Amino acid sequence: MRRADRLFQIVQHLRGGRLVTAQKLGTWLEVSERTIYRDIADLQ
């Protein structure tokens, strides 16, 4: 999955009001938990 697509999916989850852990997002998007944290930091 391209990074832009992954960032979009993260934003969609967060905007949907769903509570989800970085670990679960990482599993769902097939990336590490650390990558999720980096992506969220870049979105801020």
CA nearest neighbour of 39 among 15, 5, 27, 19: 5
CA nearest neighbour of 8 among 27, 32, 29, 24: 29
Total of domains in the chain: 1
pTM score, whole prediction: 0.84
Q: What percent of the chain lies above the pLDDT cut of 70? A: 100
Q: How many CB atoms lie within 10 A of CB 18?
A: 9
The alpha carbon dihedral of 16, 31, 43, 38 has a sign of positive
Q: What is the pLDDT of residues 17-28, one digit of tens each?
A: 878 999 999 999
DSSP character at residue 31: S
